[in-house]
A and B are shown apart, each in its own frame.
Chain A
Amino acid sequence: MLRTPCTIMLALAAIAPGCSPTMDLPANFVDVDQPHDAYDLRAVSADGVVVALRSEDNPDRGTLDFWAKAIQQELTARPGYTLTANDPVTSASGDDGVLLAFDVKKEATEMKYLLAVFLKFDKVVIAEAAGPADAVNPIRPELRTALLSVR
């Protein structure tokens, strides 16, 4: 997906159709720009924590409840995924959203996975953060702030 400057749109505190969403990165994360990626944005820290942002079409205007539940059902059906939190949140730009948190067991590694979902016009916007538990736990508040900075 193409990323285009959205400065004017930010000033209006809204995202116009055709403009990709964006989010603030936590400190010490490096943007990994990969063409033809499914993600609008993806960044990594030195100790293996990843944050990402993606948006998907919502032409039939599914509600926030619908998408939050569909995402939760999809992930909890997978082996190793355990839902630990399901909280209503509000983004920095005032959009209602849902923040889901999971513990994920991958072989011998305990992982943490956070996912925030928002609706923006005709898009479902999903912000994700994940990494080894011992790398995520110390910066969990910063990751939460980053996920809620979606605009």
Chain B
Amino acid sequence: MLFTVAAIACPACVAFQADVDAEAALGPVTATVADAAELLKPFTEDEPRFVAIDPRKVIYTASLQIAAPDVDAAVTRTARLAESAGGYVQQMTNDAIVIRVPADAFGHTLTALADIGTIVTREITARDVTEEYTDLQIRLTSAKALLVRLQNLLEKASDVKQALEIEREMARVQAEIEKLQGSLNSLSSRINYATFTIRFLPVRRIPQTMRLQLPFWWLSRLGLENLMTF
């Protein structure tokens, strides 16, 4: 009862982070509202409140410049490589391609790209987002638990004013749950699929000799380029 009064008087004061003691004090969760039940799937009494923390969540990205004699063919081969690895082409132009492959195929794909052309520049990052991922999971779990509590409070609301306040708070928490779920889905996608951004360069003939540039600037102004420009 005391908790009920505190929650209605100061909804913002309700703890957003999971708290095991508070959780235990509320007793078992019962979801009766259709929306809340939908949002709580697959979160039921039988399932654990907190998900197990995976050992490591890493986002792999690679940015490459590859020199190839035939740029068109190189782009096509890269697209096929992505598909054969269980991935897909995210973006493609005449001389560039962005592919996404399952994270566990990252190393194999990098090796296979070296067969398509000469890797001129390479930038590889492995960003550990375990903390960020865990934080999102915890916040999502807490928000879902809060929604259930608010539903319980709503059922016990003594008047319309109280009920309206609780419903307003429930709408805010539902929006927050959707936002958190979206963030978690996006992060999961980046974790599960590595991203390769590749630009292909045509192979150029390297001049065999070096020539001294004479220190007479006007020599560079000779020729058609200036003569025929008005």
* A interface residues, Cβ below 8 angstroms from B: 32, 34, 38, 42, 48, 50, 52, 54, 56, 70-71, 73-75, 77-78, 81, 104, 106, 111, 113, 115, 126, 128, 130-131
* Cβ–Cβ < 8 Å partners of B222 in chain A: 71, 74-75, 115, 126, 128
* B interface residues, Cβ below 8 angstroms from A: 211, 214, 216, 218-224, 226-228, 230
* Cβ–Cβ < 8 Å partners of A106 in chain B: 224
Q: A113, B214: Cβ atoms under 8 Å? A: no
Q: A111, B224: Cβ atoms under 8 Å? A: yes
* Cβ–Cβ < 8 Å partners of A126 in chain B: 222
Q: Given A74-B214, A131-B228, 13 more contacts at CB 8 Å?
A: A34-B230, A70-B214, A70-B219, A73-B211, A74-B219, A74-B222, A75-B222, A77-B211, A78-B223, A81-B223, A104-B224, A113-B227, A128-B222
* Cβ–Cβ < 8 Å partners of A115 in chain B: 222
Q: B224, A130: Cβ atoms under 8 Å? A: yes
Q: How far is the CB of B225 from chain A (nearest CB, A)?
A: 9
* Cβ–Cβ < 8 Å partners of A32 in chain B: 230
* Cβ–Cβ < 8 Å partners of B214 in chain A: 70, 73-74
Asked if A56 meets B218 with Cβ closer than 8 Å, knowing A81-B223, A130-B224, the reply is yes
Residue of A nearest to B228 (CB): A50
Q: How far is the CB of A34 from chain B (nearest CB, A)?
A: 7
Q: B221, A38: Cβ atoms under 8 Å? A: yes
* Cβ–Cβ < 8 Å partners of B219 in chain A: 70-71, 74
* Cβ–Cβ < 8 Å partners of A34 in chain B: 230
CA distance A128 to B224 in the complex (A): 9
CA distance A115 to B221 in the complex (A): 13
* Chain A CB within 10 A, most for which of B216, B219, B224: B224
Q: How far is the CB of B215 from chain A (nearest CB, A)?
A: 11
Contact of A130 among B211, B216, B221, B227 (CB under 8 A): B227
Q: B216, A128: Cβ atoms under 8 Å? A: no
CA distance A18 to B75 in the complex (A): 61
Residue of B nearest to A128 (CB): B227
* Cβ–Cβ < 8 Å partners of B216 in chain A: 56, 70
Q: How far is the CB of A62 from chain B (nearest CB, A)?
A: 9
Residue of B nearest to A78 (CB): B223
CA distance A34 to B227 in the complex (A): 13
* Cβ–Cβ < 8 Å partners of A78 in chain B: 223
Q: Which 9 A-B pairs have the closest CB atoms?
A: A74-B219, A56-B218, A130-B224, A50-B228, A130-B227, A50-B227, A128-B227, A70-B214, A104-B224
CA distance A56 to B216 in the complex (A): 10
Cross-chain pairs A/B with CB under 8 angstroms, 27 sampled:
A32-B230, A34-B230, A38-B218, A38-B221, A38-B226, A42-B227, A48-B228, A52-B227, A54-B218, A70-B219, A71-B222, A73-B211, A73-B214, A74-B219, A74-B220, A74-B222, A75-B222, A75-B223, A77-B211, A106-B224, A113-B227, A115-B222, A126-B222, A128-B222, A128-B227, A130-B224, A130-B227
